[in-house]
Each structure stands twice: as structure tokens, then as C-alpha cells.
Structure 1
Amino acid sequence: MAAAWHSVLRCALVCGAFIIGIHSHELQHRRSASGQLPARSSSSASVGGGGAVRTSGRSILEASAVAASTDSAAEARCPALSRDLLQSVAKQNTVMLAVANEKQWDFTLNWLEHLQAAEISYAVVAAADVLTSQRLAALGQACFEHIDDEIPKLGLTWGEEGWRRMTWAKVFVLDMVADWGFDIVVSDVDVVWFKDPTPLFTEHPNADLLFGEDGTQSLNEAGDAGLEVTSSPFHDFNTGVYLMRHGNRTTAWVHAWRQFFAKCTNHDQHCAYDLMRDEPGDGRDANDPRLHTGWKGQLWMGVMPPSIFMNAHTHYLQQLHKVKQVEPYAVHLTWTYNGAAGKRARLRDMGLWFDPPNYYSSGSFVTVDLDLPEKPPGYNDWNENEDMVTFYLETIHAQLQQAYVGMALAVASKRAFVLPTLQCYCEKLWYEVVRCRVVDAQAMPFPVPCPQDYLFDPAHYADNPVRHGTPMDIRESSFLDNERTPQEVKESLLIIQPSAALQCTDCVKEEPGEGGIMLLMVPPALPDAQLLPLLEPYSSYRVWRFSFAGVGSTQRAYGGFSDAAAAQAFDQRMEWMTTDFCCRREEEAPRYHKTDAIVVKLNMTSEFKYSAMSNAVTAQR
């Protein structure tokens, strides 16, 4: 069963085009009733990009803000696709192609920021809707319109026909330009480029297609920056990042792939697998032996290892580029959870998301010093999956309880909460773990830093307060290490330490802390109504770092909310924003009496919750 879930869910949620317009990620096995091919050209009229705001000398985010404030932003649109347009931006006869829509706009800006930082100047974006067309034109970004008006009518939920057509959008664009003589780099907009990939065309002169690997393992030796040593059409390659050299072979392949849309009822990547693996042959290039024949033996294809064309797993968890001692070209935000919000959070975790300046400079913050678990001897060599899962759940719940205390103080003091670096001793997958890892990353050592999307649904941090309780203002664990966070924030730091040594409820004690940071000792277990007045003289400190070192238990550190309704609303949010751990192995579950706990809802309050404490106090009055 694990293999089946792996195949279905990985293709559904990891592979293929990046579609932010999808709000449901549940598996649905609905098939399209339509086999017709979308039209080759945009159905909407287009005009030139007059009045564009150039990005030279400023960041993409700054330019976007300026563009949004100009009258011309609502008038200018991307022009029609033409060979001259591509020629105007091509570098060494190469263009980078991407498709973007309104739902992806913040990802598109982030993608453009990283292109600018990497000095990649040959990107052209296909605008999939009018608003995106206007925004791109106002930025002065090379673009054209490719609008399929039928997509919204056909459904955007995973598995519906509109969703399928969205995944094929890059293929349709590629089909239109394949005969124009350009080498092409195809990129989704949930990709971060670190350096220009055009040298790969020179390094592999016989390659027709070079794909990114969709998995989490490379068998290349350390220092080997070449193609994946086991490269073949039967690799799970990814169609979100790849290079295509112009030529008769690739032109024929692209046209065949587009025509396959009418016959293959799946998303573009799955259908690319079917096509590439159709009588692929067994040839190896004499001069570049990691190139393999594919598609009836008619072209040469290769796969870049996930240490070089990375994903969120190999970059953030394994840091495979460091393990393999190679420089990555890009990271593609696959292997993340909870949709677009999860991708955005993971990019923030990695320090690769560009937020506006006030995200880093405005307001004040609370964070906590975690009392971290000690790794059991030999943990990384354990073979009993259930023992590892049990240890992970115990330790992550203890850490979440500590974060819960810090979040409560942040809410009470009207500050944002900076997540601590929580430690994960197990992975989260869409299917069962093996030794707490994905099956092809068994060498990954624990602990790893927990990504936000392992523990929380970031879309639930602040949505619908009436229904889901107190909204949270959350910053990622890397926030105080981010170069974009001002030094004046990082250096304005106060350590707050509840201490049982204080024999009072209305006093504090200042002591010099490590590195010259002030340590403020406060009485333990005070609720907000008593603690906040004591902290008021220290409100000018931008960062309050809460320490548990002076008390015997997490619960003794802070008493929470004096108001029962506030405590209830806070706990409601805590329950709403946590996500699930997945998954125990079904074949093991009966032996451990865990058949009802294959998937486990994570819990911020495994030891105590403030709403229960407030209710108890109210009942005693």
C-alpha cells in the first residue's frame, strides 16, 4: 500500500506545475470529460507595455509597489507572443519561460527578485490572466498573454479539468515557440534560482533535455557536479524546472507532448513520463554517458541530481548540496505541505522569501529559548519505526507546549511571535515513513529543523478570527538571522526569565546576561494582568526572549490569560493552526495498538491549556 500511496500522492502534490489557485489538496479521482486541446493563442486582446516602471536600481518588490501606484498600471498589458519578443531578451540564444497567474503573484515577484540577484536577465513570463498581464507590463518585465478562459469554468480543484489544463499551460506555450530556434529554460515561479543555468548547455553539448530530479536521493559521489549517475527516462523527473536545446528532435518531442494532451488524461508531468518512457531505447552517449535515449530512442535526455536542482526536502532538511559538496543552481518548492501558504512559509524558513521592508523592521517580538530534547544514543541507526515515531511525537509535543507559552505572551503583549527552531526527529509525508524518513533518504541524520509546514498550516495563523479565535502574527525561526532584519531589531534584546528564587509577585530583578544581554528575572506563573505591568518599563526592547531555565516546568513559567474569554479564543486558534503528523506504517500499527493513530493531530497543549486554567479559576470564585 505504501508504494501505491507514494506514487499517487507524490505525483498529485509534489510533481508538476505550481498551481496556487487550487484550494483543495484532497485526492479526487475524477476524470475529465473533455479531451479537446486548448487554443494555441490567447483569447484576449493585448496591447503594449507603455508606461512601464523599470526595476533598475530598486528591488522587484519596490518596483511593484511603485507600479501599483501609477495610473498606467491599469492600462498597460503584455503584448502578444512573438519571436521578436523572445529575441529581444534572449541571452546566447536562450530564454527562460514561466507561466504566472493572479493567485501566484507574490511568488512571481519572489521569483523575479531571485532572478535579478542571480543576474538572469532573459526571462519571459506568460500572463494567464488580465490582472497579471497588467502587473507584469507595469513592472517592465518581458511578458506576453496566454489566457485560457475555459479553465475557471472547468473547475480548479485537484483532478478537475480546469486544474489539468493549468498544469499543461507551459507545454502549450512551449509548443508555440518550439520552432523559433531558441534554447529554453522552463521554470515554475515557485523556484529560486541561485545562478545562471545556461552553462549546462555547454557542459552537456549532446543533451536535448535536462530535467530536475523529483526525488530526494542522489547516488553521485561528493564533489560530483554532473548529471545524476543513474539518469534515465525511468527517473521521476520534474517538469517544473528543465532545459531544452533547440533542434529537430526536441521540436518533435514538444509537439508530440502537446498533442498527447487529448489522449493522456493526467497532468503534464505524468504524461511526460508516459511519452518519454515509450520505447526509450537503451543508448548511452559515448561522450556524456549519463545521457540516455528516450521517447522511442529519438532524443538524449538527462536528469540533474537533487543536490544541484534542489527541492525543499533536499535543500532545507538534508542540505544535500553541502553533503555532496556541490553548488546548486536552483531550489524548486516541491516536497512541502499545506498548499501555497506552506510553500511561502518554507521559503521564509530558508531565508529565501522577499517580504516588504516593514515585515522585518516594524513592531516588536517575542520568542522563546526551547528546552530541547536530548537525542537518544544511536537514534539515527534505530530500525524500529514505531519507537522513532513515539519519540518524535513526545518530543515535538513538549517543544510545542513551550512555543504555546511564548505565543500566549506575544498575544497578551501585542507582539509578533518569532518561532524558535524546533527539532524534528521524524519526517512528515503523505504516506507512511520508513525509519521516520522518506524511503530514499535513509541516510538523513536527525534531528532536522522543523519546517513550519510540518507542524502548522500557515494559512490558519490569522484567518477568520470570529470563527477560529485570536489571530497570530508569526515570524519564521530564521527571522532574527535574516540579513534583511535590521540590526537595531536584532540588538534590542531582553531575556525574560521567570524565577522561583523571587519571593514576590510584584518585583523584578535585573542581572547581566550572557554576551552583555540584560536578563530580567520575573516571578513565575503570573497571568498577563500581573506580568505585563512589570514588563511595561522594558517595552522599548524590540525582542523579548522568554527563558524556562528558572522554573521546574513549562506550566510554571507563565500563568496565561486573566480573562477566560481571551484564553478560550487563544486556545481555539492553537487547535486550528496545528496540522497532522503522517504517517505510521499500517502493517506495524496492530502490533503497537495504533490502528487508530496512523495519522496524528499535533497538539500545542499536551500538558496544559490556558482556557482550562482560566475556567478553573473562574469556578473557584
Structure 2
Amino acid sequence: MPVRFALTASKLRAQSTNGTTFVTFADGNVASFALNWAWLLQQLGLRSLVGISGHLDRDVEARFHEVGADVFCADGPLMAANGQAGRWSELLPVLQLARTIPISVLLSDADIAWMRDPLPYFAAVRASHPRVDLLMMTDRAFNNYVSTPLKVQPNPAPLSRWAGRRLWGSAETATRAKRVERGGGGSGGDLGFELELEPGYDSAISYNIGVIWFCAHALEGLEGMVERFMISVGGEGGSVLDQNGKLRKKKVRANQLASWDQDPINKEVLQKGLRHDPEDHRLVRVDRGRLAMGVLPMLQFTTSFTYYMHRKRREMIGAAPPYCLHAIFAHGKDIDRKRGIFREERLWRDPPAYYDSGRRFLAADTFLSKSQLAVGGFDMISAQVFQVHQAMRLAALTNRTLVLPRLKCGERPMAYPCYAWYHRAFAYFGVNPDKVPMPEVCPMYYWLELAKLAGLAPKLPTREPSFLENPRVPAAVTSSVANVRFTRPDGSGVSNGDVVNLEVGGPGRKDLEGRNGPILVPGASDLSDLRRLLRGTEMARVLRVRNLHYLQLPVALGSAEAKTEVSTTWPNRRDLNEVTRGFWCTACPITRRGAVVHELNKSVVHELEGFCKSEARGKLGRGPMRSCCSAGGACHMCQPWETKITKNESELSWALQLWLPTFAKLEMLHSQEKPCAHPFCTGTDRKRFP
């Protein structure tokens, strides 16, 4: 091993910032994520240290140094066998060296994007909770995350750190900073307050080990805990401690490593002897009471779930923007999905060619009619997905890279991805008070199969919805825009008086209108007319299209020869359906795989949506509850004594206030004006319920 790859105390000290060294581990599978992780830290003025397993090319090593990271060899047999479970054997010498300095260590997974410097917050936590030895996250998924301020608030970063800078972080942070610049910030004109720790004991469903801050003062005890981590992941079963709490000595073989290290670490180490800290009940004593642990606030140290689903809650309470985004809780673990999450939030460092390289782009806006908004339901999603398909076809036809539209979600569609059980609104037992509100705009992983989309790249190259907002996109691209609006065959339908356009840039984005008015193109144009009408747009780097609902591809292509020609240039219908299928389900009592919307008759979906509407109206006293149901029996018109009415919406929890009144205001279809007798409403099909 070359000397430059050795782990030394001087290297650990040199890579520290304000008494903490940020550390991650990577093998060939996640090296690109480790580079991105280090680059984001560099944007915050933080250095980092990366443990590498496997061969590292000189050019990759140089790229790590360019982003302020140093590397060391972490190539032991356990790490080589399983980069996740094997890292604990490589972390132990890091902690041992840190104790000789002494400095704290922040261990972070590489699939985490850091958007704010957490060190001032950690210092404030130590001031508020002096007994804390380590900080961690939780996998608890619900509505009632902590919403109160930390007792001791860190000194706020100056606005110059946020407003007007590159803001590689999310659109949320950028929007909040601009709002503060205009005088619309929180008290004191800052970005909001920092949150208190989560209740440590109550968060024990599974402590998330993606971020761990090891405090310098407790490193000796923390080394022992990590030793127990090592043993816990070395076998699939059995306690790692004897009845006296001593380590049971056993040889750990690489082929015995746990496939998911968090589970044995929780069950065999952290949760053993779990109890409240006697002097600070916000903290929890872990590892048989040896250490005091705090759980980081999940609205600021976020997973994909708490980042997107709870964005509105974060703003409602006036909390500061997130510190980090962990690309988990995203209905899958594949690399394309994680990278897509970061790209959508402008947290991924692509090479310059990704943003220009002479490409031409097509940016499409979706729309929803007033009647669709009034009725709601999954038809809102289906209508937008159809427009996405049309945008994909048009991008392929014009040889442009598609900037994906944003998909309008919120509560009106009454729909959610199948595995996101936390969005279920009603079941046969009535209102689900634990339902998590839907985001107004769905992230890509909610409705796109990103791995399948990547496979279509040769025919259909795409970019994330936030692409044209990214400051790395050259002005030569964003300033060269041609606008096209599709019309009805008679040329009408361009006023948009009956539609709601959803801008490709989202809230707060400057409109990309060209200097000239839009080009009007009949949606029923055949291939030759379509090419002729779009000929004047060929030099524009961005072609922005609206009113895709009028575009009649592929029907309007005309001749069989034209259809044959384009069949080789754009994805077929099956591919498009697979890419946008997602795991959408109806929003009522359905929570499991058997309830995927695409496998249900549309009339059934409408019946379930009517059940939700009638239940919501009845709950708020705005009409009779048509569907009083019990497990094993049919639904019937509710009697007064069967329902508990809440006429004062302010008495509802914050989460119920966000969706229950919306459901109640949606218009009923004629087919929905009767009690729901479907097994999903009555509960007779018990396999469909949790």
C-alpha cells in the first residue's frame, strides 16, 4: 500500500473542521456518490475523509483531492466482502486515532447530500444537552416529528451564505433565502429556527445509522460500541453479549456478514437495555446504558420521506431548511433512483457536458382542467402521465433532450405509490388520522421508474424537472427559447382559460418566454405539417411546449410510411407505460401490492374515491356519511349515532387539516353517489389491509 493511503492522526487532523472530521466509506459501486458527497461538503467549506475499498485510479484520486477530500485504504476482508456491514471494522481505527487528538467524527453514508454545515447545530445540541455522547437518525415514519425549537439556538449563518450564491441545495432552500431577502423571513429575518432533538426512546423502532456523530469526549466508550457493531453484523442470529454484558468472542467471517447491518446493530447493541437518560429524557441510554444518544430532528436531517412529504410542515412551523438529504425511503434502493433524487434537487455534480455539449432541449408543461381539479381522483394523474408520454414522443421526433415535467399531486388526486402506506386516508374503520399529506408536486421517484428510463436514453435522453433552474446550465441555453402552443384543429384553445398550466420550472422560477409570441400548432397536424410548423424553432436551444392535451400523436402522423419512420425514433407504448407506471394506488383503504391502480377497473377506482369523499363530508358534518362499514359486512347509510362529526376544522390535527377538507370539497361523480360495497371499503378482504 502506498504511504499516501495510510490512515494517520495527522491526516485525520488535517481533514477536520472545527473539531470534527467527516468520514465516509466507498467501494467501486458508490465511488461516484462519495465524490458527490465530498463535493457538497466542499461547497459548505468542509473537508472530508474517504475510506476506499479496492483499486483507486490516479485520476479518481485526483478528483477526490479537487473536492477537498483525502483518502485512506479501507480494504480489509470484511469491507471487501460487504461495503456496508464491513465498514465498522474500518471505522474502529478512525475512532482510535481521533481519541489521541482528540476530535469528533461524523460518519455519513455516501448517499447523503449535505446542504448546510451541521457543526454549529451539533455545538448547540451539546449546549442544550450536555450529557449527549452520540447523535443518530431514526427510521420512524409518521406525522408528529418534533416541531419545537432547540433550547440553545446556534448563531445563524449570514444570509450572504445563502441568498444569491450558487445554492447547490434544494429549491426549498433557495426559495426560502429569496423570501428572506424580500423581508418575508422568520423572526429576525433569518431562515427559521433549529429544531429540538426527537424523543430518543420513542424513536427506537429502528435507529438509522446513516449519520452518526461520535463526540470526542466519549470516544473510548464509543469504540467499544463499534466493536459490538462489528460482532453483531458478523452473524445472522444470536446475542453478541453474554448475560453480564460482556463481548462474546467469536470469529467473524466475511461470508457471515449481515445483508442489512442496521437490523442486528439495533437489536443486538443499541436497543439492548434501552431506557431514558435519567437526567435528560430527550436522550436515550443505549448499548446497555453505557452511552447517552440523541436522535436528530427528522425534519432537518431528512430522508426522502421527511424531505418531500414533510416540506410543507417544515415551512408551516417556521423551521430552518434541511441540513441533509439521505436518498432512502424512496420506494427502492437502485443507483438510478438515488442519483435521480439528488439531480432533481440540484445536489448532484455532473460533468459540464451534461448541461450543454450542444444539446437542444424540450421543456413541457402539463395542465389540468378546472373540471378535473373539481372532481379530483386518479384521473388527474392519468391525464398528466398521458401528456408526459406525448412530450416524450415529441422530444424523440424533434431530436431533443426532454426536460421532464413536474407532476401535480397534492391531495386532490387521492392517489399514492403502492408501498407508501403512510398516505392511506380511509379504510373500513373510517378516517386514518395518521395519514401523511401528499406533496403538492411529486418527486420523480413517485411516478417514474428511473432505472427503466435510463435504459431508454439512446432513444429518449432526459433531464430532471429542475434542470433549467440549475446554475450550471449556461445562459446560452436558458436564454435561447422558442415557445409552441398546441391548439384544437380549428386553431382555438390557446387562451388557456379552461386549464391550469403547471410550469416546468415550478414555483418561484422566472418564466422562460421567448421574445416573440408562441408558435401555434394544430394538435392534429400530420408529420409533414408538424415538421414544417416547427422548422423555425430548430435553432432554439430550448423548445417550450404547452397544451399537450391537444397533441394527437401518434394518431395524427398520417401515412403508414410516417408511422414506420417514427417507430424507429421513439419508444413504443409499452416502454412508455413501463417507465411511468410507478406504484400508484388508490388513496382509500388500499395499502398493499394487490391494490395497484393499473390493475383495477376505472369504475372501481371511482367507487373507492367516492367512498373517501363521502366519508370526509360526513366527518366534517357537510352531508350524510353514505358509507358506514364494518369488517365482514356491507356498507350502509350512516345513522347519526354511528358517526363522530368535527364541524370546527381547527380542532383537527395539522395533518388532517391539510387533506380532509380538500376531500370533502371535491365534486361527486354520478357513479359515486351511493354507499361503497367494494371489499376494499367494507374490509371483507382482510389481505388488503395492514
Give the TM-score of the pair, scaled to structure 1. Answer: 0.70
- Residue of structure 1 aligned with 2:484, choices 479, 496, 514: 496
Q: 1:149 to 1:92 in 2, by over 3 A?
A: same
Q: How does 1:462-611 map to 2 (within 5 A)?
A: 462-463=454-455, 471-500=459-488, 516-548=515-547, 553-555=550-552, 559-560=556-557, 562-564=562-564, 566-567=566-567, 570-571=571-572, 572-581=574-583, 583=585, 597-598=595-596, 600=598
Distance 2:108 2:436 in 1: 28
Matched, 1:228 2:221: no
For residues 360-409 of structure 1, the C-alpha deviation after alignment (integer angstroms, 9 at most, x for no partner) is: 23311112221225598999xxxxxxxx8xx23x2212101111111111
Matched, 1:272 2:265: yes
More moved, 412-421 vs 224-233 = 224-233
The match for 2:230 is: 258
The match for 1:188 is: 109
For residues 112-134 of structure 1, the C-alpha deviation after alignment (integer angstroms, 9 at most, x for no partner) is: 2211111112x110001103686
The match for 1:103 is: 29
- The residue type paired with residue 370 of structure 1 is T
Matched, 1:169 2:86: yes
Q: 1:103 to 1:304 in 2, by over 3 A?
A: same
Distance 2:49 2:421 in 1: 40
Q: How does 1:255-404 map to 2 (within 5 A)?
A: 255-264=227-236, 266=258, 267-274=260-267, 275-286=269-280, 289-319=281-311, 320-327=313-320, 328-338=322-332, 339-361=334-356, 362-372=358-368, 391-392=377-378, 394-404=379-389
The match for 1:47 is: 2
Instruction: After TM superposition, give the deviation of residue 418 of structure 1 in Å.
Output: 1.0
Alignment gaps of 5+ in structure 2: 151-193, 238-257, 493-511, 601-690
Q: 1:555 to 1:269 in 2, by over 3 A?
A: same
Superposition CA RMSD, Å: 3.6
The match for 1:451 is: 443
SS in 2 for 1:98: strand
Q: 1:546 to 1:90 in 2, by over 3 A?
A: closer
The match for 1:126 is: 51
Distance 1:350 1:367 in 2: 17
Task: Verify the 8 A CA contact 1:97 1:124 in the aligned structure 2.
Answer: yes
Instruction: After TM superposition, give the deviation of residue 340 of structure 1 in Å.
Output: 0.9
For residues 527-574 of structure 1, the C-alpha deviation after alignment (integer angstroms, 9 at most, x for no partner) is: 33331132122211222122228x7x4538983582336337521431
Distance 1:517 1:533 in 2: 18
Alignment gaps of 5+ in structure 1: 1-45, 50-78, 153-161, 380-387, 505-512, 603-621
Task: Verify the 8 A CA contact 1:208 1:244 in the aligned structure 2.
Answer: yes
Distance 2:293 2:310 in 1: 26
Q: 1:595 to 1:106 in 2, by over 3 A?
A: closer
Distance 2:578 2:28 in 1: 27
Distance 1:422 1:310 in 2: 22
Give identity over the alignment, percent.
Answer: 23
- The residue type paired with residue 269 of structure 1 is Q
Matched, 1:237 2:158: no
Paired residue total = 485
Distance 1:588 1:450 in 2: 19
Distance 1:147 1:241 in 2: 22
Instruction: After TM superposition, give the deviation of residue 584 of structure 1 in Å.
Output: 5.9
Q: 1:133 to 1:396 in 2, by over 3 A?
A: farther
Q: 1:442 to 1:119 in 2, by over 3 A?
A: farther
Task: Verify the 8 A CA contact 2:422 2:436 in the aligned structure 1.
Answer: no
Q: 1:436 to 1:81 in 2, by over 3 A?
A: farther
Task: Verify the 8 A CA contact 2:78 2:86 in the aligned structure 1.
Answer: no
Task: Verify the 8 A CA contact 2:343 2:464 in the aligned structure 1.
Answer: yes
Task: Verify the 8 A CA contact 2:366 2:547 in the aligned structure 1.
Answer: yes
The match for 1:612 is: none
Q: 1:459 to 1:482 in 2, by over 3 A?
A: same
- The residue type paired with residue 520 of structure 1 is I
Distance 1:599 1:147 in 2: 47
For residues 128-171 of structure 1, the C-alpha deviation after alignment (integer angstroms, 9 at most, x for no partner) is: 1103686225643311111245777xxxxxxxxx5xx3221332
The match for 2:251 is: none
Task: Verify the 8 A CA contact 1:193 1:331 in the aligned structure 2.
Answer: yes
Task: Verify the 8 A CA contact 1:582 1:598 in the aligned structure 2.
Answer: yes
Q: 1:150 to 1:89 in 2, by over 3 A?
A: closer
Distance 1:428 1:579 in 2: 10
The match for 2:657 is: none
Task: Verify the 8 A CA contact 1:201 1:245 in the aligned structure 2.
Answer: no
Task: Verify the 8 A CA contact 1:175 1:254 in the aligned structure 2.
Answer: yes
- The residue type paired with residue 74 of structure 2 is H
- The residue type paired with residue 225 of structure 2 is W
- The residue type paired with residue 131 of structure 1 is L
Q: 1:234 to 1:445 in 2, by over 3 A?
A: closer
Q: 1:324 to 1:264 in 2, by over 3 A?
A: farther
Instruction: After TM superposition, give the deviation of residue 354 of structure 1 in Å.
Output: 1.9
